[in-house]
Structures are given as structure tokens and as C-alpha cells.
Amino acid sequence: MVIPQILIQSFWELDRKMDADRLSKQTYPTDLTEICDIPYIDDGHEYHKLDVYYPQDTKKGAKLPVIIDIHGGGWFYGDKELNKNYCLHLAQRGFCVFNISYRLVPEVRNDAQLADCMAALDFIGRNLAKYPADKRRVFVTGDSAGGQLAAFVAAACLSDNMRKAYGISHRPDLKIKAVGLVSPCPYLIPKGGFRFYSPHVLGKNYKRKDWAKYIDFEKTVRAAKGKYPPTIIFTSFADIVAKSQSKKAYRLLKSRGTKVVLDKRFKPSLNHVYQVLFPDSADSVRAIDKLIKFFSKHS
């Protein structure tokens, strides 16, 4: 039995209201340059846009390391505004941050969402020179469903076969140096409780698609042919949504020879994507600092 789509959308509508209330109470950094609503596909679609953030005191000609962030939301919900405060905190630490939106289920399925993210990377690669951005130091991060997309983007940038399977014609002119996955859900195989949800994300006839094999994250990592970027994965005690997937992804990457770190916090109050939800908290600052340290180590 598949969960009716109307129930899923009702859940995410409730989450939308809670997020709006949460974000309205947060303090956003103000010492940053923000360039917003840049179309990465010029088709007028509201979700084919991205923002760029970097410190206001960045000197002319400076080249900052780059972070590309992909928001979560169960593939059904969200846009770049959901992660804006989190991305601003990343930019405060001396990065040029690209915060992207992508189309959502049910308008599209997961394969088109991946294609959107790859189109955003392609646009960023072609336009980095317009910003204080260092093409030699590019990192990708994502949380929850965005963690799945970030994990797959990292492999697709390295695999001609994977891009072909997804119908992606261009390889972005970017080399991803490291990946940060926050409570990621990279295993899309309809098993366990996910079998009630995933048909909406994948589509009814996904098994007939060329990309179907890549919903097994192991096949995605193999597509990178031993070149999958160094990765840090975050989970937490109350991360009911993604704790098991985060640990499984860690074991897989480690077994494949990838440099990988698993940051698992046992504090009971820390739940799914806590550092994205509350980037000002002491626990979140610690996690963000660890992400930045990991990226800097692999720059």
C-alpha cells in the first residue's frame, strides 16, 4: 500500500507553516552580500533560481572557497529560502555560498530534481568568474532529501554513464573537492517504511528507466569509479528519519576507500538536520565548524 499523495502533501503543508514560524523568529546575519533569485535555467520557473552570499568585506579580486547547498524537504517541499539562514552562516565563515532551489514532487520526480541540481552546477561553473569564487575549491552539501541529491550530484559529476542514464547532457565545469551530507537519505530503494513513500518520489514506472539502478546508493558510488570525493556525514540521537541511512552510507563509502567521517551526536535534543534548522545554537555552531574544518582540510 502506498501512502496517498494527499496525506503526504498535507504533512508537508503543516511542516511549511512550522518552518515559516521558526524562521520568522531567527536572526539572520547582516554582514553579507546577497544576490538573490538568479535564474540558472531561463524558463521563468520559480524553482529554477539560486542565491549567492559572501562576506561584505570581501576584497576586490579575492577568491573565496565555494559551497553549493541543496535544501531538504522530503522531495515534496521547500526551496532555497528554507536554508537561507543556514547558508548565510556558512558564508559568514569566509565562503561564497550558492543556495539553490529545484522543482518538487509531484510536478516532477527525483530524476528531474537531480537534473535541475546538475543544471545549477553547470550554471555555477560557467559563471563563477562573476563572483569572488575560487574554482579550485568547490564543495557540495545538502540535508535530508537534499543530502540524497548532493550525494548523487557528486557521483554524476564523475560518471558519464550516470549522466547519460539521467538524460543529463553536460558535465558541469566544476571539480567537487569534498561533500557534506546532513542527515542524508541517499537510499531510494522502496524497502521498509520507505516503500510506502518512495513511489511518489520515483514514479510508478521507475523500474523501466535507465537511471533505476542508481537508486541503490552503492551503484551510485560505484559509478564514480573510486574517485568519490571525501565526505563528512552528520546524524544525531533523535534523527529518526535518517540515522540508519547516514550510518549505512558511512559504511559503504568507507568500504569503497572514500575518505569519510561520521559525526553522530548522542544528545537527545538533537534531531533531524538540527544545524540547518537552528544554525545559531551551540550544537549547530559546533557542527558547522566541523563541516568547515573538513572542507578546508580537503581544499
The pLDDT of residue 281? 96
Q: Are 182 and 243 in contact (CB under 8 A)?
A: no
Domain count, the chain: 1
The pLDDT of residue 2? 74
Whether the pLDDT of residue 235 is over 70: the answer is: yes
H-assigned helices in the chain: 5-24, 84-92, 110-127, 145-156, 160-165, 198-202, 217-223, 243-255, 274-277, 282-297
DSSP character at residue 150: H
Task: Report if pTM > 0.75.
Answer: yes
| Cell of residue 252, nine digits | 559503504
Work out the percent of the chain whose per-residue pLDDT is above 70. 100
* Predicted confidence band of residue 1 (pLDDT cuts 50, 70, 90): low
Q: What's the domain range around 53?
A: 5-297
The pLDDT of residue 194? 81
Instruction: Give the sheet arrangement for strand 133-143, strand by strand.
Output: 32-39, 49-55, 96-100, 64-70, 133-143, 176-182, 231-236, 260-265
The tens digit of pLDDT for each residue in 45-94 reads: 999 999 999 999 999 999 999 999 999 999 999 999 999 999 999 999 99
Residue 155 sits in a domain whose CATH number is: 3.40.50.1820
Pairwise CA distance, residues 295 & 230, whole Å: 9
